Amino acid sequence: MTVSNCARADDPTGRGNATVMSRFDKDIVKAFRAAWYHAGKGVAALEAVVLIIRKTDGSCKAVLLDPTRQHYRFTFCLQPGTIAVVHTHPNDVDPRPAAADINIADRFQVPMFTLTTNGMFLYDPTTKVTRRVQDGIDWLINSKWARYRN
């Protein structure tokens, strides 16, 4: 994954994995599903990216980026207000965020999530820890996010 020299995520509030995941509602999960289909459900060597953007009223929205048709990578501009990057990984690669993904997360201080058939993984740049946050394709089910919402 590559981020071009574009606008930096400029809003440091609302970051952190618990805060971000508490925002994953049915519309954001719907964007995850669309990304998964754009990436051929992990079978194709393609990736898809969803940016989680915090709006001025404090709510969040998912922005599914247009496909680039790059194999095993995705080049994009990080939009202002981005509080997390969520992207797919093909089934034939490590499901956890790759070194390039971690570099982006560290550089822009945004959590990096991967969507895979083996679960959803999160790299948190504040703790430098990667962990599984959903099993299998549970990340496609809105009710599975209830445990993160209060």
Say if 49 falls within a structural domain. yes
DSSP 77: P
Q: Is residue 53 part of a domain?
A: yes
- Residue 140 placed within a domain: no
Residues in the chain: 150
pLDDT band, very low/low/confident/very high, at 88 (cuts 50, 70, 90): very high
Could you give the CA distance from residue 68 to residue 76 in angstroms, rounded to a whole number? 9
pLDDT in tens, 119-143: 999 999 999 999 999 999 999 999 9
In the chain, the number of structural domains is 1
Q: 7-41: per-residue pLDDT in tens?
A: 333 333 334 456 788 888 999 999 999 999 988 89
Residue 69 pLDDT class (50, 70, 90 cuts) = low
Residue 23 sits in a domain whose CATH number is 3.40.140.10
Domain that holds residue 75: 2-135
Q: What is the mean predicted confidence (pLDDT) over 59-71?
A: 77
Between residues 31 and 67, the one the model is more confident about: 31
Residue 70 has pLDDT above 80, yes or no: no
Look at residue 104 and tell me if it is in a domain: yes
Predicted confidence at residue 4, as pLDDT, reads 39
Torsion of Cα atoms, 39 then 83 then 148 then 34, to 10° = -20
Please answer whether residues 98 and 57 qualify as being in contact, where contact means their C-beta atoms are separated by less than 8 angstroms.
no
- Residue 100 tokens, joined: 């390039």
Nearest by Cα to 121 from 141, 142, 98? 98
**pLDDT in the model for residue 25:** 92
